Every structure is written in C-alpha cells, then in structure tokens.
Structure 1
Amino acid sequence: MPRLLAVCAVRQLRPDAGTNGVTAIDKGALDGPVRVGPYGVRGDVQANRKHHGGLDKALYAYAQEDAAFWESELGRALAPGWFGENLRIEGLDVNAALIGERWRIGERVDVEVTMPRTPCQTFARWVGGPEARGWVKRFSAERRLGPYLRVVRGGTVQAGDEVVVTHRPHGAPGLLDGYVGPS
C-alpha cells in the first residue's frame, strides 16, 4: 500500500549564490497533521516563485525508493525534505505517473500530477561537494525527477496516510514522456 512517509516544509531560508541570494530548498519533516491548501503545505515558502510554487507547482513529491537509490549513489542518508520535496511517498512509482493523474492522500486531500521537476543549479549547490559538479545532468539522466502537483481538494495530511491513485487519464502523456533534461 503506497503511503505518505513525511510532509515537509522549509526549515529556514539559506544563503545561495543564485540570483535570489537565498534558497528554500532546505525542507524537513513536520510532526502531526499538516494543512494543505491551493498553494501547498501551510508554512512552506518558495524563494523563487518564477520556477517553484504557484497553483500548478503547489507540491513536489519524491519517492522513498528514488531517495534510497541516491543514498546509495552518494553514500549518505537523505532525510525527507532533502530533495526539496513536500511529500516523501513510499510504494508508488511517482515517475510512472501520467500528466493529469490524480491521487488521494489520507481521507480528504486530492492532488493532480502537472509536470516533472526540472533540476537546477540551486539544487546542485545544495548537493554540495564533488557531486555538485554535473549534478543537474546526472539527476536528470537517472529520470528520478518526481512530479509537481496541483491541489484539487485541500485538507489535512500526515505521515502514515495512504496514497491512492484515483484517476489515470486515458491517453495522457507520462510524466517523463518527452523529457530531455539539460543539454
């Protein structure tokens, strides 16, 4: 049964060498029930709203299985929120989702898959160390991007909630169909 392992929000804005001067990628798991509305997790922020956030990118989901792959590759633990995700999910291949696919999380929250994450240099700087060099291409090449989600119906979610695929639109493109990544 697919389930929500963690709901994450920004812990603190951190200095960053990018154009904004700060990043909100540093997210961590929240305790207990967490409110989710049209713009995502209550208390979360995005430092660059041109590329993150808004109604079509209200939430970012990442699979525990993909995080485990990267833990093995990088040789370190990657706690929920490390990828900048709001939702760490276990037991669901989030990269096999279709655009327009809908999921119910817990009793009430409904979300819709809108697009894949496009990794950026802020993410590479967050990774740090020797892995940061070429990170955007490497992350893209593995095709373990995770989806952005639109909130169709808000409510409260928490770690342990079941995640159910409630609708897979016939003929819709897959999350990674046509994704080329950086050149």
Structure 2
Amino acid sequence: MEIVSINVGLPQTIMYQGKELVTGIYKYPVSSSLRVSKTQLDGDGQADLTLHGGTDKALCVYPEEHYAHWEQVLAQKLEAGTFGENLTVRGLLEDQVCIGDIYAIDDVIVQVSQPRQPCHKLAKRLDWGDAVLQVQETGYTGYYLRVLTEGVISKNAEVKLIVRDEAGVTVAYANQIKYHEKANIEAAQQIAAIQALSASWKQSFLKRLAELGA
C-alpha cells in the first residue's frame, strides 16, 4: 500500500459551454512533501465548501489501478490528479478499504470516512457527459479521509493499516447499497450505524430509511 502521487490545486475559473465555472477539481502532482491539517493539504482548496472539503473530506483518495480503465474509455492518457484526488494510491482499492479503517501515512493518522461521490465538475473537466453515471456504475469512486493526527505526507510514504473497523463495510459495498440496492433496509441500517461514517452520508441513509418506513 503506497502513495503514487500527491496532488493539489486551488480553485480556478474555467469557461464551459460559454459559462464561467469555479472549480477546485484541477489537481496536479507535486514533488515536495506537504503538511496536512484537519481540513486539507497545504496548497489545496475547494470551490464549493458545502459539498467538498471540511473535516470529513480532508483528503480525497483515488486508486491508480482504475486509470487504465478510464484511459481506455476516454482514449486518452490521464495523469495523476485527473479525478480531483489529493492522493493517488496503489493497493488500496474500494473493495479492500472499509469505512472507519484507520491508516498511518508517515506520521499522519487518517480514517476512511465515506466513498467519494462524483459531481458534475468531473464531467466538465473531461468534457465527458457520462462521467458521474459511469463512475457510479463501475464503483471506481475513490473515497475520502478525515485527518486524526496532522503532520507531513511525503510522496514515497508507505500506507499502513492500524485499525480495521469492526463493522467491516467496504467502500465498494457502501457504493453498491447507495446506488444499486436502494431498497435494502438492513444494509442501509448497517451503514448508517457506522460511527466513523461522514455526517452527510449518515444523513443520506437515515433519510432513505425514513422514506422506506424503517
């Protein structure tokens, strides 16, 4: 389990179909080590703080293993950071990582908080109208980390699992229930009960359960 690339970028204004769009999805690899706080890496930023950033989404992670698939779909070479992730990683796929898992990255301690939910800005960055749907369908979403202990992350850092969450709910399973098994009450209850789950995803599952009469 290792970091392939550390990527940061500040919000910028782009033109898309004749309209201005402010977005922080443009992240680019850096060669230096960077300090990470409870909310973000140094030199990084988000445009819409109602949906991005904050303690539950301090770091966005995306597995390098998915890039080959998307390069084939889009018929183009994609560099690390294309999916707006801060950390491009290897050996930490969605079906291997559980919500609530705690990892050490150098002296930084992080915890998996939720799957990454793709937004329309990814579609606009790549001029790829089906981006959100395809990311959801494949389950190649990536995920977010909250920072439990601040520190410095280096590009060559190893990622070590410290604690496996007792619920054992993988990011892949949470995605499956979120997008494909929307009437699965038992699974929704299990996910909503995970203490480490982000506030926004917990609220989403509780709302679904209320609508299902559970």
2:125 counterpart letter in structure 1: W
Counterpart in the other structure of 1:134: 130
Shift in Å, 1:172: 3.9
Compared with structure 1, are the counterparts of its residues 94 and 16 closer, same or farther at alpha carbon in structure 2 (3 Å cutoff)?
A: farther
The amino acid across from 1:10 in the alignment is: G
- Structure 1 residue 110 corresponds to structure 2 residue 106: no
- CA distance in structure 1 between the aligned counterparts of 2:59 and 2:52, rounded to whole angstroms: 9
In the TM superposition, residue 179 of structure 1 has moved relative to its aligned partner by 2.2
RMSD of the alignment, in Å?
Answer: 2.2
The answer to whether the 8 Å contact 1:95/1:147 transfers is no
> Which runs of 5 or more residues in structure 2 are unaligned?
183-214
Question: Bigger relative contact order, structure 1 or 2, given CA contacts below 8 A and separation 6+?
Answer: 1
Residue pair 2:10, 2:45 contacting (<8 A) in 1 also: no
**Which residue number corresponds to residue 63 of structure 1?**
63
- Per the TM alignment, residue 99 of structure 1 is displaced from its structure 2 partner at its CA by 1.0
Once the two structures are TM-superposed, the CA of residue 16 in structure 1 deviates from its matched residue by 5.3
1:1-183 equivalences under 5 Å are 2-10=1-9, 13-15=12-14, 21-106=21-106, 108-128=107-127, 132-176=128-172, 177=174, 178-180=177-179
Secondary structure (helix, strand or coil) at the match of 2:179 reads: coil
> CA 1:20 to 1:150, structure 2 compared with 1: closer, same or farther past 3 Å?
farther
Write the letter of the residue equivalent to 1:7: I
Structure 2 Cα separation of the partners of residues 126 and 59 of structure 1: 20
Is the Cα–Cα contact under 8 Å of residues 115 and 171 in structure 2 kept in the other structure? yes
CA distance in 1, matches of 2:113, 2:78: 25
Shift of 1:13: 1.1
Whole-Å separation in 1 of the counterparts to 2:27 and 2:60: 11
Structure 1 segments (4+ residues) deviating >4 Å: 16-20
Equivalent AA in structure 2 for residue 90 of structure 1: R
Question: 2: CA distance between counterparts of 1:38 and 1:16?
Answer: 32
More helix by share: 2
* Conserved? CA contact 1:14–1:26, under 8 Å: no
Kept in 2, the 8 Å contact 1:60–1:85? The answer is yes
Query: What's the CA shift for 1:153?
Result: 0.8
Summarize the Cα distance change of 1:44–1:124 in structure 2 as closer, same or farther, 3 Å threshold. same
**Farther-moved stretch of structure 1 (94-103 vs 13-22):** 13-22
Which is higher, the Rg of structure 1 or of structure 2?
A: 2
Counterparts of 2:31 and 2:13, CA distance in 1:
22
State the TM-score, normalizing by the size of structure 2.
0.76
User: Which sections of structure 1, spanning at least 5 residues, go unmatched?
Assistant: none
SS of residue paired to 2:132: helix
Note the alpha carbon deviations across 1:93-136, whole angstroms, 9 max, x for none: 24431111111112x011100011111111111111xxx12221
Is the contact between residue 98 and residue 113 of structure 1 (CA under 8 Å) also seen in structure 2? yes
Three-state SS of the structure 2 residue aligned to 1:21 is: strand
